[in-house]
Amino acid sequence: MTLTLAVYGKGGIGKSTTSCNISTALAKRGKKVLQIGCDPKHDSTFTLTGFLIPTIIDTLQEKDFHYEDIWPEDVIYKGYAGVDCVEAGGPPAGAGCGGYVVGETVKLLKELNAFDEYDVILFDVLGDVVCGGFAAPLNYADYCLIVTDNGFDALFAANRIAASVREKARTHPLRLAGLIGNRTSKRDLIDKYVSHVAMPVLEVLPLIEDIRVSRVKGKTLFEMAEKDPTLDYVCDFYLNIADQILALPEGVVPSEAHDRELFGLLSDY
């Protein structure tokens, strides 16, 4: 059985950073992991591989969409701790649909028989909440995770995502595993939100300069901690999230707040 995760959240909130480190944490727990970057920005797996790997869409275009000419090694790259990495890539600029790209990516990986060999597949989803690429990974996911900070905008986006999960869960066995607070030392608004809509908070990570640096270096925190054990405490945040997921939490089918309700709730302090 492959456990499939979809990581969501507002643009720039730390989805890819969090995804790479959760994937690594899962690998450190002995799991065979595939991370699929679904953002046209195609930098999801950068800290795992240290470079921008070729995207599925670029490779498909190069081979004139002849799926039979594509080998797993054309599109699947080995990252840190043995995490396999795929970047879906983007539709042609100004045209096309991100949902189509995610669909093609899954189709190709299935044709390569590359889908069932993993213990965990993690989709790192784009931040744009209206595009077709946004909802597509929910079709495949067992669990959704939402990255947010303690601010209104990210929680507003989280609430939109929760609504999508609620909708998809009508036809798919999908659960929201919980929120991951990121880049914040405060959690009062996060707590206010989850006490209103009832969803778990898996972890809250502060702003950590070394996490910012990890992006520039193209390394996960685990790789950086090999040379600098003072970073072990940061890895522990991600290991804690991985362990909670591997324990197959019940999670929730969320019921989102109404927009007006949310404005009242989060501005009233």
Site for ligand ADP in 128-187 (CB under 6 A): 182-183
* Cα–Cα dist 93/97, whole Å: 10
- Known catalytic residue at 41: yes
Total site size for ligand ADP, rule CB under 6 A: 17
CB of 264 to ligand ADP, least distance (A): 27
CB of 148 to ligand ADP, least distance (A): 10
User: Per rule CB under 5 A, is residue 16 in the interface with Mg ion?
Assistant: yes
| C-beta nearest to Mg ion: residue | 16
From 9-17, 49-57, 63-71, 138-146, span contacting ligand ADP (CB under 6 A): 9-17
Q: Please identify which residue in 78, 110, 186, 212 interacts with ligand ADP, judged by CB under 6 A.
A: 212
* Cα–Cα dist 238/150, whole Å: 19
- Known catalytic residue at 10: yes
Catalytic residue among 10, 31, 168, 219, which? 10
User: Per rule CB under 6 A, is residue 21 in the interface with ligand ADP?
Assistant: no
- Known catalytic residue at 78: no
Go through 141-168 and write b for each residue having 16 or more CB atoms within 10 A of its CB, e for each that does not: bbbbbbbbbbbeebbbbbbbbbbbbbeb
Site for Mg ion in 36-95 (CB under 5 A): 39
CB of 236 to ligand ADP, least distance (A): 14
User: Per rule CB under 6 A, is residue 17 in the interface with ligand ADP?
Assistant: yes
Closer to ligand ADP at the Cβ: 169 or 202? 202
CB of 197 to ligand ADP, least distance (A): 21
**Residue 211: contacted member of ligand ADP, Mg ion, none (CB under 5 to 8 Å, by partner type):** ligand ADP
Catalytic residue among 119, 128, 191, 210, which? 128
* Cα–Cα dist 104/119, whole Å: 21
CB of 128 to ligand ADP, least distance (A): 10
Q: Which two tokens stand for residue 174?
A: 């999908």
- Active centre residues (catalytic): 10, 15, 41, 128
Where on the chain is the footprint of Mg ion (CB under 5 A)?
Answer: 15-16, 39
Where on the chain is the footprint of ligand ADP (CB under 6 A)?
Answer: 9, 11-17, 127, 182-183, 205, 207-208, 211-212, 215
